[in-house]
Structure 1
Amino acid sequence: MHLRFSLLFFVFLMWSCSPQIQSPSITFDTTSNPSSPSYDSLFYWAFHPQRDDAKQLLPKNFLDTLFDYNSQVDVFYIHPTSYHSGDNWNASLEDSVVNVSRTDYLLQNQASVFAGLARLYAPYYRQMHIDSYTDLSNGYPAFHLAYSDVHHAFLQYWKYWNKGRPFIIAGHSQGTNHAERLLKEVILVDEKMSYQLKLAYLLGMPITTISDDFLPCEDESQVDCFLSWRSFRSGFYPSSPIGDSIVSVNPIHWKSTNAQSDYTNHQGILFPSGKLKYPHSLSVKNHQGMLWVERPKGLILRFYKRDDYHVADINLFWLNIRENLHLRLSNL
């Protein structure tokens, strides 16, 4: 069954700013599912280049030199879970808190890394409740419903807006679960789609293999490959899967070796306030399928109250990711 590996061993994670979790009050029932989206309407897109200005996503204190890069690449971004409280197992797309306020926050903290370097497409979808990762009898059907929306959104993008452009798939957490399935079931089994696919970011979940024809990236400039990592405090061992079979690419030196990165090569952290701060503050290394993060003792950050830095997999390395993407795109 799809994503059994991720679901069975999932570490219970949520955004530090998320509301208190309220579990669904009913069992999963198709008759109570929220209304389905129609992706020909921009209403069902969190971000769409025909309507939205990507410059609005960039950090407030960041003078960007890459925004006007004339990229001919698209990115299809699948956001993580922002649905923590509700009666149903899947979020309603009419819920403005879940699907506007929180998703806008995720766009600014994650999808902003692509702004101006690629045309951004980000669908709303009937995401599964965070409890789906622990209550599997309800979680599996909720996952399938959420994925069906992502699948339909991608097909809408592909048919009407792609127009032969190279593209990137990007996801985090639940978004990575859906991205992994989309790659395996749709994109990589289609000759034209797989040819136009240039890169995938599969972040925050334990990813092992995708396809013999689509392997982990091995250096800082490679394309036609995927990137994945999960961030933890150095020395911490989670209850979720670990092991060298899990892909972990260091987002500072961009190799899957266990070599420690230099503090001087860290470009800064994107804070939820929308500001980029603290360059040269982190050093990271891969260890048994994890990305271990070391920081100076004097650096105090809210998300460092936890040993698991899942919520900051992108924020911690925002500018490193952005500048590296520019390098990779220059090789197309």
Structure 2
Amino acid sequence: MIRYSLLLILFVIFQFTSCKTYGPSATYSSPEVLEIDYSNLNHWAAHPDKRDNADKIPGSDRTASSNLKADVFFIHPTIYRSKGKNLPWNPSISNKELNNQVDASTILFQASAFNAAGRVFAPRYRQAHLVSYSTSDKESAKKAFALAYNDVKNAFEHYLKYYNNGRPVIIAGHSQGTTHAGPLIKEFFDNTSLQQQLVAAYLIGMPVTKDYFKTIFPCESATELGCFISWRTFKRNYIPDDRPVDDSILVTNPLNWTTDTTYVAKNQNLGAVLRDFNRILPRRVDAQVHEGILWATKPKFPWSFLYRSKNYHIADINFYYMNIKENAERRVKVYLDAKN
């Protein structure tokens, strides 16, 4: 755990301060294995039928209950950011080193935020390399993202066939996870019979327009159902010039769960979970919606003086971990109460 905590903080510090990400240089080529077998539990980073880091509870030796009446389908962000020559655009599903990194970072520090709301399903998928977002080789990047989405879609279809059984479900993703969660919701929920099972969608870390879906609308309160939530976090008073920022983009304030521009002080923050998973840091981070992004005053936490970036993307979930946990659980309760 100490090793992985150190790994995480180094990841936080350098993720957005490094000069350049080196990734695939050759044009995209199709992988040898076209379809992933999701009946194999090794192809799930989190699954109710195995012990995994999504079951863990910060500051406690207990693990999440498996006797829950709803499910969470969590799609993790980009962890594949290796540097080197001749890298594939998408890694092997059995890349042990990468899978360990996924489990020790996003599954532990992000997916676990939803484990009080439902059983967590988080597929391993052949994520597109981080450089796919910025490369000039747009055609290769498009194919890399398509393969990643196809894995996510196949995993979700397997989940629907063998595990859902009419249960309510939360869709949650961060960064590249949101890149795939949006199309997944369009394909399976938007204006379909499955829409009635959607508790809410947490589409965090990427710009999502308010009118992205046809019949699924932004959440406007902490208890609204069948709606979607989104935000991207930056340092207060900073407006990025390298990504879309305007009022057409949905921004949900994770401290009051509205979309208005009311400033919410850090005393409303139930707790961040950062470098040390077993340490909850309450009242550290504030929040305010501003022109398509979420502003947060830089919080103080161990080694925070080393973090100079004004982009808090890596902590979109971690800054508001306990509020997300409480809200997801609350929405499920409202959903189940309405059905009874």
Q: TM-score, normalised by structure 2?
A: 0.85
Distance 2:319 2:301 in 1: 16
Deviations 1:281-300 (A, max 9, x none): 22210000100002467986
Q: What is aligned with 2:8?
A: none
Q: What is aligned with 2:93?
A: 93
SS in structure 2 of the partner of residue 76 of structure 1: strand
- Letter in structure 1 aligned against 2:182: E
Please give the residue correspondences for 1:54-69 in structure 2 after superposition, counting only pairs within 5 Å: 56-59=55-58, 61-62=59-60, 67-68=64-65
Distance 2:182 2:55 in 1: 29
2:116, 2:329 within 8 Å by CA — same for their partners in 1? no
Distance 1:219 1:303 in 2: 36
Shift of 1:325: 1.7
Task: Identify unmatched segments of 5+ residues in structure 1.
Answer: 1-13
2:80, 2:91 within 8 Å by CA — same for their partners in 1? yes
Shift of 1:53: 5.3
Distance 1:259 1:287 in 2: 9
Q: What is aligned with 1:10?
A: none
Deviations 1:109-152 (A, max 9, x none): 10010123200100000110111111222111100011000000
Shift of 1:107: 0.5
Distance 1:298 1:226 in 2: 30
Q: What is aligned with 1:286?
A: 289
Q: What is aligned with 1:72?
A: 69
SS in structure 1 of the partner of residue 202 of structure 2: strand
Q: Is 2:148 the partner of 1:151?
A: no
SS in structure 2 of the partner of residue 331 of structure 1: helix
Task: Identify unmatched segments of 5+ residues in structure 2.
Answer: 1-10, 336-340
Q: Is 2:190 the partner of 1:185?
A: no
- Letter in structure 2 aligned against 1:97: E
Of 135-144 and 154-163, more deviation after overlay is shown by 135-144
1:74, 1:120 within 8 Å by CA — same for their partners in 2? yes
- Letter in structure 2 aligned against 1:308: N
Q: What is aligned with 2:315?
A: 312
Shift of 1:44: 0.6
1:140 corresponds to which of 129, 136, 142: 142
SS in structure 2 of the partner of residue 198 of structure 1: strand
1:199, 1:223 within 8 Å by CA — same for their partners in 2? yes
Distance 1:17 1:237 in 2: 20
Please give the residue correspondences for 1:69-218 in structure 2 after superposition, counting only pairs within 5 Å: 71-85=68-82, 87-135=87-135, 136-191=138-193, 193-208=194-209, 209-218=211-220
SS in structure 2 of the partner of residue 161 of structure 1: helix
Deviations 1:52-98 (A, max 9, x none): 25675221x2488x955963110000000011126100111121111
- Letter in structure 1 aligned against 2:206: M
Distance 2:76 2:60 in 1: 23
Shift of 1:190: 3.0
The 1:63/1:328 distance shift into structure 2, 3 A limit, reads farther
Distance 2:301 2:98 in 1: 35
SS in structure 2 of the partner of residue 249 of structure 1: coil
1:69, 1:117 within 8 Å by CA — same for their partners in 2? no
Q: What is aligned with 2:7?
A: none
1:79, 1:103 within 8 Å by CA — same for their partners in 2? no
SS in structure 2 of the partner of residue 270 of structure 1: coil
Q: CA RMSD in A?
A: 2.4
The 1:234/1:324 distance shift into structure 2, 3 A limit, reads same
